[in-house]
Structure 1
Amino acid sequence: MENEPTPHSMPTERDSGSWRPGGTSYGSVSRGRQAPGAQSPRGPKWRPSLSPTNTSLGEQYAEFVAAVQFLSVLPVPSRSGRAPQSTQDASTSSQTRIGAAYFPIVGLIFSLLLWLVTWILGFRLPHLALTALCVVGLVILTGGLHLDGLMDSCDGLLGGRTRERKLEIMRDSRVGSFGVLGGICALLLKWAFLGSISGAHLVPSLMLTLVLGRWAMLLALYVFPNARTSGLGVSYRQVVTRGQVLQAGVISLVIALIVGAWLASGLGLLIGLLIWVCAGICALLFGNWINAQIGGLTGDSYGAIEEFTEVVLLLVLALF
């Protein structure tokens, strides 16, 4: 027939852009031959897509970078050479990363850096001076992030009478007497407990404390509701998934078991497991108390739980 298309002019799945081996569509990008004069879908900005493995590795590295930059002042470059999105814009963006799964790894990095300090200066300084440097060094590495949360929480939880007043005080950037006292007590107790731990056990104790303190903070963030309907604490909780919490829990448990075996050859694994459980109990008990006071947790509460867990774990390790 005159108008009947020839086999070569018949449209096919390949030419329509919906064909791919196995029958799954790629979308509107044609995989067939381009018509004369048509613009190639592979324009000047086209890049070959990453394989699923590379994409996964890239995402995990981005999560790791986000965790380091969220919890510390350490400069860590991203794969693109640019820093991830600032967490200070979290309240206006649903794409904020905080790298929750890698919180324990950040604690491990802190302990390794402090180990380096003790190794360099340990030949000249006494034990108490080294432990003081560790306490101060940790404040510097974190930018005082968790300590600030502890101080604000002490002001609000101990200085307010009603839930609304407590939340109002915690939002105030000024530090009151309860906050100053809480911060001083936390620093003094850390120094005292670290000073009570022998030099041979100082580094593994730091590893356990710093890794599990951040695991406890993440556990509380996931378990307890938010005290407010908006703010950074709400945004943080929105981007944390159960998978990230489980991944962080497994990472922290493995580190605890390895470091526990380092601390004691016989019962090391049991010690590591008990310390890991103790960190979880601290998060749940202290988080439950804060939840009863203000009907949930805030961003400051997470820092307070982290600091509280560190102090309790150092006390337990000092008793061994």
Structure 2
Amino acid sequence: MWNRLCNHIRVDFETLSATLSLLTRLPSNVNFGGNWKERFRKSPRFFTTVGYLPGLLYAFMRWMACNAGNKWELVVTALGLSVGFYFFDLFHFDGLLDMFDGFLNQSSKDRRLEIMSKGNVGPFAVFYGTLFILVFFELFRNVKPSVMFFSSVFGRFTVL
């Protein structure tokens, strides 16, 4: 009984680690062995759990920005967004930019797929990526820390 419980906890920890390595840039040093496909298949149940990490970071940085005073608010906000994007959102932001380049381009279906698969940044990606960052920056400055926390957690539901 005890071994079965310990094995179940170990498998859940490996699945959580697989989810962390899938959704974030946080280092994950767990050896999945030959059963790594099963771990990734079960990983969606931990998506909201992983959402607590960026939620805590964004809420803490928003709280810091609120208490830093007018002089440092923009610096703390920019730092919080930079760290948050680096560890949690940069990979997904890159995919969003590729989607803008591909879907907004007025060319054939094959050409759109080629544009999305390349690593080049096009004009649509630059424009809408800049617009996205500016809107996110302004929202970050104008919401309460609790909103930053819960929006990050609930945002992980959208992929399910």
TM-score, length basis structure 2? 0.80
Q: Structure 1's 152 and 65: CA in aligned 2 closer, same or farther, altered over 3 A?
A: same
Please give the residue correspondences for 1:63-142 in structure 2 after superposition, counting only pairs within 5 Å: 63-78=15-30, 82=31, 84=32, 94-95=37-38, 97=40, 99-119=43-63, 123-126=67-70, 127-142=73-88
User: Which one has the bigger helix percentage?
Assistant: 2
Q: Which whole-Å CA distance do the structure 1 matches of 2:135 and 2:65 have between them?
A: 22
Question: Where has structure 1 moved over 6 Å in runs of 4 or more?
Answer: none
Aligned residues with identical type, % of pairs? 24
User: Does the alignment pair 1:176 with 2:122?
Assistant: yes
Alignment partner of 1:187: what SS?
A: helix
- Tell me what 2:13 maps to: 61
Higher relative contact order (CA 8 A, sep 6+): 2
- Tell me what 1:204 maps to: 146
Alignment partner of 1:214: what SS?
A: helix
Q: CA deviation at 1:68?
A: 1.2
Give the letter for the 1:97 counterpart.
F
Alignment partner of 2:124: what SS?
A: helix
- Tell me what 1:301 maps to: none
Larger Rg: 1
Q: Does the CA-based 8 Å contact 2:51-2:152 persist in structure 1?
A: yes
Q: Structure 1's 195 and 116: CA in aligned 2 closer, same or farther, altered over 3 A?
A: closer
- The gaps in structure 2 that reach 5 residues or longer are none
Give the letter for the 1:74 counterpart.
L
Give the letter for the 2:21 counterpart.
Q
- The gaps in structure 1 that reach 5 residues or longer are 1-48, 86-92, 220-320
Q: Does the CA-based 8 Å contact 1:105-1:211 persist in structure 2?
A: yes
Alignment RMSD: 2.7
Give the letter for the 1:73 counterpart.
R
